[in-house]
Structures are given as structure tokens and as C-alpha cells.
Structure 1
Amino acid sequence: MDESDITVICFWNRHCRPCIRELTALNILAEDYPNIRFIALTPDSNGEVKRLMGRLQLKWENITVVPDYRDEFDDTLHIYVYPSNVIIDKNRVIQGATVGG
């Protein structure tokens, strides 16, 4: 599988310390693998995300952060624990998943 065919979707929230550590590590991975898309979905508002990033001096320049996530995929993907990650190929087939910190 070509790297450009991969998307990693991360489910997180600002109250989850393992989530913040993981997103920091994923940002480093995103730098090392620029052809892989990293998307981080959070139920937190855009303002809450910006305040968190400012307070912790985080940039997450290589991760697309999507605030105001409202559990659209929870029932389909069984996302009930943060952090959770889903690896999807170009055909939208789940190739892997991780749950918890």
C-alpha cells in the first residue's frame, strides 16, 4: 500500500492527557510521513482547541484538527474510548485501529 493511500483518523478530547501526548507524537509521525493524511476529530470547540494549543505551546502543523465533532462515527466505528485511531485505505476500508492510551 502506498503511503498516499493512507488516512489516520484520531478521536480525542482536551481533557484526555493520553490524547494530547498521542497527538504530539502523531504530529512528529506526520512530519516523517508527509504523504499520510492525519485527521484529529474532537468534540471540543475551535476556541477550546486554540486555547489548549496555546497553553501547551502545540502547533500540530501536520495534523488537520477538526473541532466540534459530534459523535457521527461512534456507532459505526464503535468509538467509545479516547484516544482512538482508525487507519483507512484509499478504498475507505479500515486497515487497523487502536483504542485507549
Structure 2
Amino acid sequence: MKTYSALGLIETFGIVYILEAADAMCKAADVELAGFENVASGYISVLVRGDVGACKAAVEAGVRAVENMGSEVYSSVVIPSPHQDIEKIIARYSLENLDI
């Protein structure tokens, strides 16, 4: 059975806050920025991948960064061993699907 990286996710309101979170997450631990989702109402989520410890450290750093800016994190989670079918969802939000 294939081993999948852990996932770390943060959701907040506004692009400035999620960029700060993503920056802090990538600087705090050995994680890869996997993707993001911008919902029309302004809620934005960011996904990182790595080992469990790195994702936990990254999410903690991202949450702190948003809170230090005076905003609120609406949700955060680390999924240590996501089921292989989760890849179908992640693919939709992948940075590889962007035209940049």
C-alpha cells in the first residue's frame, strides 16, 4: 500500500491573512505548499504536505501568524495519514492547476 504524506490545512478570511499563514507554514517546517481554495465569501484555505511532525509545526506556525495579525483562524487540521481517495479532492485545489 502506498504511503501518503500528512496534510496540514488552515482556513481564515482574506487573502492577506492566508498568504501570511502560508509563508509562516513553509518557513517553519519542511512542508510543500500543495494548494489553496478561495471561496466566494472570502474564506480561504491553504494546504501543505509533509510528514506528520512537519505538518503539525507548520499549522501551529500558520495559526500563530494569522493571530499575530489580529485575525482569526476559522479552522485548522492535520490529517496524519489521509486515505488515498482524498487525492481526488486535493487535485482540484492543487497549485499545479493554476495558470501562473
| Alignment TM-score, normalising by the size of structure 1 | 0.34
Greater fraction helix: 2
Greater fraction strand: 2
| Alignment TM-score, normalising by the size of structure 2 | 0.34
